[in-house]
Amino acid sequence: MKINSEYLYLEHDGKILLVDKHGNGPKIPKFGRINLSDEDILLRLPDIEEVSKMGIKWIKKRTNIIKNRNDNYNIIFAEPLIEWPENWAWKDNVISDNAVHPIVRECVYRTIHRIVSKVIILNDNDELLMAKVSRGFFTGYWTLPGGFVNYGEHPRKSAEREVFEELGIKIVIPDNNGESGKHIEGEGMALVQEEIFNEDGINWVSFTYRSYSNVEIKDIRPKENEIEEARWFSIEDALEEAVSFFDKSAIKLIKK
């Protein structure tokens, strides 16, 4: 793949279009290929001209700039206007073949959603509990309790777990529809948001729930080296302190 050239990442129903080093395709990865010989054909993304020769039309979604060492690659993520890409490569299979260009693998990595789960905890005074973070992207800022969803974990359970790990308190998030496997009555809320924040194209999905607690600050045990302190805020002050796009959107919903 030529540096600073534009390539197309076309995905349809979990399949992506790959070509060989001469631009011929579609090509399929070989599972478990580790040792490469001169006869092995490097599989890569096609450029715009190569896709045009195949007669495939597409709609542009966004352009990501992907860095490989000191080189930049402009990747157009697009939706192909086709019915079913029978001979295309399953995107899950590109990881297991060393003949697939690293930029292809990086594109697949970009399309995997990063799932985070947060919770708005309210008390009887209509105050909202926030934590000041002492490490990571939001170091020194106030955020809603929460974090990454573990593999095989429902976002509701993730939020409850994160609150216990970060603050040492147990909460119960209402689940009136039993989505997490257990029916829990209560005044619930489930806000799902998605956003790509920069040109790298990392895709974030955030689940924010609501719960209630009258825990006193003296009974909260902030996680060492992660949470500096916890504090109750009025909803208006919480909105002023919040820096995360997802947090702000959730607090605005509560305010309404």
Strand-pair category, 142-143 with 58-68: unpaired
Instruction: Find the range with the poorest average confidence among 28-37, 53-62, 135-144.
Output: 28-37
User: From residue 145, how far is each of 74, 169, 243 by CA, in Å?
Assistant: 36, 11, 13
User: Which residues have a Cβ under 8 Å from the Cβ of 237 and sit 6 or more positions away?
Assistant: none
Same domain, 84 and 168: no
Q: What does the block give as tokens for 180?
A: 């997490």
Same domain, 104 and 126: no
Which residue, of 80, 110, 140, is where some domain finishes?
110
Same domain, 84 and 19: yes
Question: Is the residue at 99 inside a domain?
Answer: yes
State how many domains the chain has: 2
User: Which residues have a Cβ under 8 Å from the Cβ of 86 and sit 6 or more positions away?
Assistant: none
Choose among 236, 249, 242, 176: nearest CA to 207. 249
Summarize pLDDT for 169-228 with one digit per residue, the tens.
Answer: 999 999 888 888 888 888 888 999 999 988 889 999 999 999 999 999 999 999 999 999
The residue whose two tokens read 């092995």 is: 40
Contact status, residue 18 vs residue 103, Cβ threshold 8 Å: no
User: Which residues have a Cβ under 8 Å from the Cβ of 48 and sit 6 or more positions away?
Assistant: 6, 8, 76
Which residue, of 48, 79, 110, is where some domain finishes?
110
Q: How many helices (H) and strands (E) does the chain have?
A: 5, 12
Same domain, 100 and 129: no
Q: Residue 134: its pLDDT value, please?
A: 93
Same domain, 118 and 99: no
Question: Is the residue at 248 inside a domain?
Answer: yes
pTM over 0.85: yes
Question: Is the residue at 1 inside a domain?
Answer: no
3 pLDDT above the threshold of 70? no
What is the band of 40 on the pLDDT scale with cuts at 50, 70, 90? low
Which residue, of 47, 78, 110, is where some domain finishes?
110
Same domain, 13 and 59: yes
- The CATH number of the domain holding residue 34 is 3.90.79.10
Helical (H) or strand (E) element with 184: none
Same domain, 123 and 240: yes
Choose among 169, 171, 167: nearest CA to 223. 167
Same domain, 127 and 224: yes
Choose among 196, 144, 142, 133: nearest CA to 171. 144
List phi, psi (to 5°) of 209.
-115, 175
Question: Is the residue at 19 inside a domain?
Answer: yes
Q: Compute the distance between CA of residue 131 and CA of residue 140 in angstroms, rounded to an integer.
A: 10
Question: Is the residue at 12 inside a domain?
Answer: yes
Q: Compute the distance between CA of residue 115 and CA of residue 25 in angstroms, rounded to an integer.
A: 34
Same domain, 143 and 71: no
Structural domain of residue 163, as residue ranges? 114-255
Summarize pLDDT for 112-132 with one digit per residue, the tens.
Answer: 999 999 999 999 999 999 999
Same domain, 34 and 77: yes
User: From residue 115, how far is each of 166, 180, 193 by CA, in Å?
Assistant: 18, 16, 10
The residue whose two tokens read 């090509």 is: 27
Same domain, 15 and 96: yes
Q: What does the block give as tokens for 155?
A: 């976002």
Same domain, 58 and 171: no
